[in-house]
Amino acid sequence: MKNNTIVYGSILTMFLTMGGSLIAQNNALNFDGSNDFIAVSNISLNGYTAVTFEAWVYPLSFNGVAEDYISNLTGHDDASGLLRIGDNDPSHMQENSRPQFAVVTTDGVDKCNATTMMYANTWYHLAGTYDGSNLKIYVNGNLEDTEPHTGSISTTETSINIGGPNSSSRFFDGIVDEVRIWNTARSETEIRQNMYKELTGGESGLVAYYNLNETTGTVADNSEGTSSLDGSLTNMAGTEWLTSNAIFGPKNYLDFNGTSNYVDIPSDASFNNTTFSVEFWLKMDDTPASWDGIIDKGRYNPFQDWYFLAINGTLGAMFGVPGIGEIWFGINDNNWHHVAGTCDGTESKVYLDGKLQGTATGTYTVSTNGIRIGYTLTPWYFLNGGIDELRIWSDVRTATEIRENMCKNITGNESGLAAYYTFDYDYSPGTVLADYSGNGNDGTLINSPNWTNSTAYNTWLNTDDNSWTDTENWGLHTEPSSTDNIGIFHYIGGTSPISSTTSVQNFIVDDTFTLNADASVSDNLILESDLDLNGQTITLGSSATLIEGNGRLYGSSGTITTARVLSNITAENVGGLGAEITTTADMGGTIITRGHAAQSGSIQRYFDITPTNNSGLNATLVFHYFDAELNGQNESTLELFRSVDAGSNWTKIGGTVNTVANTVTLSPIDAFSLWTSAQNDNALPVELASFTVENKMHGVLCKWTTESEIENLGFILERKLEGANWTEIVSYKTDNGLMGQGTISYPTEYEYLVHL
């Protein structure tokens, strides 16, 4: 339980709040390659004329048994329907690191072999389908082989195994996640649009579904709902469950050499929209020596269209829309950064790491051009850098939509999605850049850009383990570092992280989250859900920004701070903290700290502004606040109060409130110090020395001490449960023990037992 103490008018009101918890398991199962497997009884594919097996797999090694090097993944042991790796059958020889799908039907045996050579310690999505006419195998959503075949599946087997057989040596050494068995032949579009998300369990044609999200025990639940198809972990202790990043976080990106390679995407009607958005992760490998093409639909083409180009001679880029104009923005380093451009037909915007960089207006005319990645359509300006997670939309993405999705995968079936390129086609010899939107906008790799491990962003996986430092809990399987872009997102169930001291590049919070240690952010701290400071300190770097979208900072203790060099600034909201300053003076090195503890009766926000040069500033301060911080104050009468002795005493200075903009503006200010806001008809009546809460047998004992009181009528106690409204417990009007002392300058102790 936490408490907040608030003073307003000549009455002290105390609020008691009860804490809650958030967020999901994203687990998988580890097989030892020796004798581990899951046995599923009471299931037979006999008579099926259509079937699909699919799973995410992470091999740790490959079967090295010379005479039988197959690794079974899921299906009947007799191969009447079996997804596996390798085959030593001379008629369908397959290396021990290449996937295969096999069936046995009334017309005989057939197998199709994937071309991808799998590598250890890498996630792959595998799918095998049979529709009564053709056998197909997909790797990461890409069709790699088709074999004509007919007949219905013929088998006497009545069980299916996952991870190995119930005999022989065909066991899989690695991790398995998201096993799905269907009585339909899933299409390439269906596979692609569902491989990056969990199923509900009620999908048409789903026979069995093992999301393997358990944390303990020896039962693999069938999330399709038929309990008789639950799997039994065999030769396993039930301790093999572990965190999975199969469908979360980046896996690979394409690295372009700056001289010859690129991706060509043909023209398609889904790209030809007067409203559109384009977003991607970008890593520039060096300072461009030309106007390198990043994503181009026609900058130099006779039929011009939108484009993202690098800026010649600097680590920067531009977003251009013909008829509207170009917006230039700096990138300034060789780290990963998220770029997003939007256009509604008359206005374009560009965002870097979720922060708006600029806008332009005009009239856009769409073309039917194709798109190139890493190269301009004409002439020949090649990108030296990397691209990951490219998404092209037919609508205008809002700032919130961009921020909420930039540090995580999307599913591919979102409304308005024209193309989605994950760049996760793991080290294959193929030349296809797969589109996972379902629109078939696959790209072709030209001159072999390199598939490379991506570190574009790092997502908290919301497992049953809350350790920030446990690398298995993160999408990259690494603890966040100073160049990481991290995201804390909401999933159903699971565990919120207990944070450790950390330094990151971008930090996105999209679920209610409590900070448990200090944090440093070099670029943007983006809040789409609330963040409780919880007594910790957030330090923003010299160019970092706090972006409070749908969320805000709060907390009865803790601060956020930044140090900047400020000189001759106009309406600068320093670091996005909400202290907007205008002055022609040179303030020099300036530290600005924001906190949310009420200052003896103020709203729940204050700023401590400490310039090196702190006199003769003739400055204007615009003090920003949220409605949720009003703390019972009469908003229409808010003014600014100043303390020059670290909050011991406060003096009303004045100011003009704007209740629509949620600001209080004051000018001129000769020198800065500690500032807060409160209603102007009170002189902050109570100086509070302490407030404690103690659990008792019959309730909660609240104790507080005032150092001094000015015309204090008394105290009101209120409480709330999380998600509920504040309700009054007791008032000085009904309990004489809560009467104030009027005006005094000596300490006074109070207490009240709240009965629960």
How does pLDDT run across 313-363, given as a tens digit for each residue? 999 999 999 999 999 999 989 999 999 999 999 999 999 999 999 999 999
pLDDT on residue 493 = 56
Q: Which structure tokens are listed for 567?
A: 């000189």
The neighbour count for residue 568, using CB atoms within 10 Å, is: 11
pLDDT on residue 342 = 99
How does pLDDT run across 241-283, given as a tens digit for each residue? 998 888 888 889 999 999 999 999 999 999 999 999 999 999 9
20 versus 171: the higher-pLDDT residue is: 171
Q: 725: Cβ–Cβ under 8 A, 6 or more apart, which residues? A: none
Distance CA 595, CA 537 (A): 10
Phi and psi at residue 100, to the nearest 5°: -150, 150
With a cut of 90, say whether residue 149 has pLDDT above it: yes
- 8 Å CB contact between 634 and 628: no
Let me know the angle formed at the C-alpha of 427 by 423 and 431, rounded to the nearest 5 degrees: 70
Q: 470: Cβ–Cβ under 8 A, 6 or more apart, which residues? A: 243, 479
Largest CA distance in the chain: 99
Question: Binning pLDDT at 50, 70 and 90, where does residue 4 land?
Answer: very low
Q: Which structure tokens are listed for 335?
A: 């780290």
Element (H, E) at 403: helix 399-405
- 8 Å CB contact between 293 and 309: yes
Q: Which structure tokens are listed for 527?
A: 């809040």
Q: Which structure tokens are listed for 247?
A: 């469908």
Question: Binning pLDDT at 50, 70 and 90, where does residue 23 land?
Answer: very low
Distance CA 35, CA 171 (A): 6
pLDDT on residue 599 = 87
Distance CA 584, CA 473 (A): 49
With a cut of 60, say whether residue 19 has pLDDT above it: no
How does pLDDT run across 82-98, given as a tens digit for each residue? 999 999 888 889 999 99
The neighbour count for residue 291, using CB atoms within 10 Å, is: 18
Partners of residue 651 on adjacent β-strands: 642
With a cut of 70, say whether residue 537 has pLDDT above it: yes
711 versus 752: the higher-pLDDT residue is: 752
- Could you identify the residue written with the tokens 């903290």? 577
CA neighbor of 123 nearest in space, from 25, 243, 263, 282: 243
With a cut of 80, say whether residue 301 has pLDDT above it: no
With a cut of 90, say whether residue 367 has pLDDT above it: yes
With a cut of 90, say whether residue 15 has pLDDT above it: no
Element (H, E) at 622: strand 619-624
* Full-model pTM: 0.80
Question: Binning pLDDT at 50, 70 and 90, where does residue 600 land?
Answer: confident
CA neighbor of 608 nearest in space, from 595, 623, 626: 595
Distance CA 628, CA 605 (A): 10
pLDDT on residue 668 = 95
Q: Which structure tokens are listed for 748?
A: 């006074």
Q: 10: Cβ–Cβ under 8 A, 6 or more apart, which residues? A: 682, 685, 710, 711, 712, 713, 740
- 8 Å CB contact between 264 and 341: no
The neighbour count for residue 85, using CB atoms within 10 Å, is: 27
pLDDT on residue 462 = 72
Q: Which structure tokens are listed for 327?
A: 């917006």
Rounded to an integer, the average pLDDT of 47-66 is: 94
pLDDT on residue 7 = 37
Rounded to an integer, the average pLDDT of 106-118 is: 94
How does pLDDT run across 205-240, given as a tens digit for each residue? 999 999 999 989 999 999 999 999 999 999 999 999
Tell me which range, 3-7, 75-79, 493-497, is most confidently predicted by mean pLDDT. Answer: 75-79
3 state DSSP class of 701: strand
All domains of the chain in start order, with CATH: 2-17+684-755 (no CATH), 28-243 (2.60.120.200), 252-453 (2.60.120.200), 458-679 (no CATH)
Radius of gyration of the chain (CA): 31
Question: Binning pLDDT at 50, 70 and 90, where does residue 716 land?
Answer: confident
How does pLDDT run across 391-431, given as a tens digit for each residue? 999 999 999 999 999 999 998 989 999 999 999 875 455 68
Partners of residue 71 on adjacent β-strands: 85
Q: 7-21, 223-237, 457-471 — which is least confidently predicted?
A: 7-21
pLDDT on residue 492 = 56
pLDDT on residue 709 = 83
